[in-house]
Chains A and B, each alone.
Chain A
Amino acid sequence: MNSLYFDYCASTPLHPRAYRTLMDSAKHNYANPSSMHEMGFEASLRVEESREQIARHLQVKATEVIFTSGATESNNLAIVGVARAWKKRTGRNPHIILSQIEHSSVYQCGKQLAEEGVEVSFLPVNSNGIVSPVSVKESLQANTILVSVMHVNNETGAVQPIAEIAELLKSEPQIHFHVDGVQGFGKLQVELEHIDLYTVSGHKIGGPKGIGLLVAKEYIEIGPLMYGGEQEQGVRPGTTNVPAVLSFTEAIVASLEERQEKFEYLTTLHGLVCSRLATIPGLVMNSPLPPLSSPHIINFSYRGRGVTSAMMISMLAKQGIIVSSQSACSSKAKLSRVLMAMTQDETISSSSIRLSLHEMVTQEDAVYLVAAIERMVSQLKSKNKFDLLQKHHVNS
C-alpha cells in the first residue's frame, strides 16, 4: 500500500531546485570555506553569494544573516544568546517574554533561562490559540529585553499578530523582537523591518536538513553558544556546510517566488478538508479558520472512549495515511502543551491529530484522507479500539 504523507510541518521533500543544487555542490564545493587555498576561497565565495542573495530577498543586510544547523539552534541563539550577552554586560538579570504555545526550541530556552535567574513571562493565548498584543504590552517591565512570538503555530496553524506586536515594540528600542518563522516562511508574507531576530529552517521549506538561519539585526548583541572558530562572525563557530547553504538558498528563493500560487492552492485544499471534517460527529476542530490560521495546517481532536493521538496515528497509518499530533520535537508528551494552553481540556489535548498540507498533495489525496478519517471515526464508535489497530481492519 502506498502511503500518503500529511506531515509536511515536520519535514518536506527537497524542492527540485534545492535538490539539484545540493547534489551539484556536494560534488564540486567540498573544500572547507575557511581554508586559505583557492578551493576554500571558492567555497567561501559561494557561501557569501548565498548570504547576499538571501539578504536581498529578505530585505536585510548580508551581515545580518547567520547560518546555523537549523531552527532549534537559531532559536537558542536568539533567546539564550541575547539574554546571556545582556546579563554578562550589565551584571543583572533581564526579563524576557515568550508565549505558552512556542515550539519547544523556544519554550525550553525560557525554562532554562528561568533556572539561570532570568525573569521569564509565558503569555497565555485565547481559545483560537492566538496571543494578544495587549498582553504583550501589559507584560513589559523596565528590564524587558526580548519578546519572542512565533509567526504560525506549528500544531494548530494559528497565525500570531506579529505585525501588531512589532508595531507596539517599535517605540521600545531596548526590547528586541524575535519571531520563529519556521512555519510561516514561504506560506505567509512577512516584513522584517521591525523584527529584530527571525528564524528560518531549511527542511521545512524544501531545503536540506541540518541548515537554518537566524536574521539578527546588526545592533543586536548575541553571545555565542559554542566556541572554537570565527565562522559566522564568531557567533556560530564550526565549519560551514557549503552544499546545505547553497541548497537552502535555492529553497528560500523558490519559496518566495512560488508563495502566492502555493498559498492559493493550499487554501483550496484546506477548505476542502476542513469543510468535510467539521461535519464528522465526535471531531473537534482545534485550528481556527483562515485568515486566523495558515492554510497548510489542520488540527482536530476526537472526543471519546480514551482514544489517544498515538492510537489514531496508528489507525490512520493502516489506511496509508501518515499524520502526526504534536511537533516531532515534543511527540513523546502525553498532552499537547499548545492545546492545553488553548482549551485547558485534557481529552482534547491528548487526542489531537495534525494534518499538514503541501502543494504536492492532490485534491484526490485530500478526498482519500477525509474518507479515511470518516472510516476511522465510524469504526471507533462501534468496535474495540484495539481491534482497529490491526491491519485487517483497513477495509472492513
Chain B
Amino acid sequence: MINENGPDLWSFLPDKDYIDQSGNALNLRSIQERKVLLFISMHCVRCMELVPELQQIHLPQARVILFSTGSEEDHKELDEFLQRKWPIISLSSEQMEQDFLIRSHPFGLVANENHQICDKGTVYSSNELLELVGTRGEGTLISVLRNYVRRK
C-alpha cells in the first residue's frame, strides 16, 4: 500500500509548542487565521530549488510557517535570505513524519481558522504554492471535487 503524504483532510493541526529561529514558542492552534505550513529538507534538491522562489513570494491571505530540517545556523542564514518574513521551525524529517505525516518534501499544508487541514500538496515551485494557498483552498469547487474523489 502506498501511504499518502500528509495528514488527512479536515484533521486538526497538532496542539504543540514549536520553537522558531528567534527562540520564540509557537503553537499553531494559537494562530486564529488561515495558515500555510511549508515543509522543506536541507537534503532535498527540489527544496533547494524552491528556496530562491520563496524569497519573492508574498502570501498576505495567510500566515506562513516554514518547517525545515536545517540547523540553527542554517536557519539564521535562511532567515536573512528570506528577509525575516516567516517563522522558521527546525524539525527533523522523523519529527515531520511523526507530527504531520510528512514523508517527502517539499510539501505544503493549508489549515483554516479552525486549525483543520483544508488542503495539502507537493510544492515544487512558487506557482504551486500560490495555487495551493489560493485557488485550491477551502471552499473552492476544485477543492470540493478533489476531496470528494479522495474520500471515494
Report A's interface with B, CB cutoff 8 A.
305-306, 308-311, 313-314, 332-334, 350, 384-387, 389-391
Contacts known (A311-B48, A386-B78); A350 close to B71, Cβ less than 8 A: no
**Cα–Cα, bound, A325→B81 (Å):** 25
Chain B residue nearest in CB terms to A387: B81
Residues from chain B with a CB closer than 8 A to the CB of A384 are 77, 80-81
Complex contact A386–B49 (CB within 8 A): no
Q: Does any Cβ of A come within 8 Å of B52's Cβ?
A: yes
**Cα–Cα, bound, A386→B73 (Å):** 12
**Cα–Cα, bound, A305→B77 (Å):** 10
**Cα–Cα, bound, A306→B70 (Å):** 8
Chain B residue nearest in CB terms to A393: B52
**Cα–Cα, bound, A213→B51 (Å):** 42
**Cα–Cα, bound, A45→B101 (Å):** 52
Complex contact A314–B73 (CB within 8 A): no
Chain B residue nearest in CB terms to A335: B43
Q: How far is the CB of B79 from chain A (nearest CB, A)?
A: 10
Interface residues of B in 31-84 (CB under 8 A from A): 41-45, 47-49, 51-52, 55, 69-71, 73-74, 77-78, 80-81
Residues from chain A with a CB closer than 8 A to the CB of B78 are 386
Q: How far is the CB of A224 from chain B (nearest CB, A)?
A: 24
Most A-side CB within 10 Å, residue of B43, B55, B69, B74: B43
Chain A residue nearest in CB terms to B75: A306
What 0/1 readout, one digit per residue, does chain B (95-111) give for beta carbons within 8 Å of chain A? 00000000010000000
Chain B residue nearest in CB terms to A309: B43
Residues from chain B with a CB closer than 8 A to the CB of A314 are 45, 48-49
Residues from chain B with a CB closer than 8 A to the CB of A308 are 42-43, 48
Complex contact A332–B73 (CB within 8 A): no
Complex contact A386–B51 (CB within 8 A): yes
Cβ contact of B43, chosen from A334, A386, A390, A391, cutoff 8 A: A334
Complex contact B93–A389 (CB within 8 A): no
Contacts known (A384-B81, A386-B77, A387-B81); A311 close to B42, Cβ less than 8 A: yes
Beyond A310-B44, A389-B52, 13 additional contacts (C-beta under 8 Å) are A306-B73, A310-B42, A310-B47, A313-B48, A314-B45, A314-B48, A334-B43, A384-B77, A384-B81, A386-B52, A386-B78, A386-B81, A391-B52
